[in-house]
Amino acid sequence: MRLKDKVAIITGAANGLGLAAAETFAREGAKVALADYDANLGRERAAELKAKGYEVSFFQVDVSDRSSVDEMVRRVAAEFSGIDILVNNAGITRDAMLKKLSVEDFQKVISVNLTGVFHCTQAVLPFLLERGSGKIISTSSVSGVYGNVGQTNYAAAKAGVIGMTKSWAKELGRKGINVNAVAPGFIMTGMTAKVPEKILEQMKSMVPLGRLGDPRDIANAYLFLASEEANYVNGTVLHVDGGIMM
């Protein structure tokens, strides 16, 4: 098993990419903390994974609230006797064209998608430094690299994640901590499932592989970066986008 006995926190783990990552990590032997804002769904997902024999627990958290993050991290470390891996996966969208984008929606996305990554990483860092090793993986997006119409707030946050990733990789590499990011393209999640079929076909036509990604495609990228196989990978942004931006 590639993550045997490692303790991993995955934020936004109640659905989508985070849930796929939680199951993938657990299957590879990790003790997984499912951290999510949605307490009811999070507990339900944790129960489902436990029924499969995996060692997982749910922890409610609002990543935009530092006190909530600190409490979540404290509880995870206490239950699992430390922390080895952090996957900053939690994120939201509040899309609008610049002319119509409200200050509130701009700030909310920044608070969750960017400041939340800072909160979680800084809160987990002492436990990784204590171990003298660790993996920090944050979810960016192709929107954060190339921009996207109607996503000023989202693209800004995801670009910021890349900047923080590279800064932390330089700061923490000599401490035995690898810091990397994943930039997903169009992935089939609950959100995209609501998109009209005509639009989905247009999205697929933009991807050289001819399909949208599966959440497991992203989970496998997280798994690689969290494993010993990526011990010499640091400060990179791994695009998992089917080649959409070539």
Phi, psi torsion values for 105, nearest 5 degrees? -70, -35
Nearest to residue 136, comparing CAs of 111, 107, 171?
A: 171
Residue 37 falls in the annotated catalytic set = no
Cα separation, 90 vs 21, whole angstroms: 12
Q: 18 vs 9, 105, 109, 137, CA distance in Å?
A: 10, 23, 18, 12
Tokens of 124: 């987990």
Residue 231: other Cβ atoms inside 10 A: 11
Q: Annotated catalytic residue: which of 54, 154, 222, 232?
A: 154
CB within 8 A of 129, min separation 6: which ones? Answer: 175, 177
* Cβ-count burial 104-136 (b if 16+ within 10 Å, e if not): ebbebbbbbbbbbbbbbbebbbebbeeeeebbb
37 and 11 Cβ atoms separated by less than 8 Å: no
Amino acid present at 102: S
Tokens of 78: 């206490």
Tokens of 122: 């800084």
* Residues known to be catalytic: 154
